[in-house]
Structure 1
């Protein structure tokens, strides 16, 4: 099993409510559209960072999901709607092979 983890840093406290709204909206959309069981959350101390993660049985499955996302207009619209809440270059993706 593999875990995909994405983090993104919020620009400042003024846009934190927007970042939380995005996390909720995008998580709901992806779970409903792709049955991914994504979980999202916000760091409680230190940096204002949002986290998402989901598990997949294989890297091929992750590739298929990514290909579908590249064609998903609703997902693209959400990304565009909230593009100004993130620190530029702060998004990080990690794939972890679970033991």
Structure 2
């Protein structure tokens, strides 16, 4: 159970993967899961703003929509930074020194 939790997997998933593959690759990090939850909350806010815009008109909600879009861009930037994995270097390759 501890290994499954560390890999951020359900116990059944962990057991299945280790039985079939012999190893379990870690799921999403706690940071990316938190960012995803934040995005879900903001998606709910966007839905509410959309409904309000239809009821009252966009002229009353455009400031909130622009602010929400700004925050969404910032969160997506955080997600990209958190999930960025550098490409392996060209170690072992012989470089031309001429």
The verdict on a shared fold, with TM-score over 0.5 as the criterion, is no
Higher Cα radius of gyration: 2
Higher strand residue share = 1
TM-score by length of 1: 0.36
Of structures 1 and 2, the one with the larger relative CO (CA 8 A, separation 6+) is 1
TM-score by length of 2: 0.36
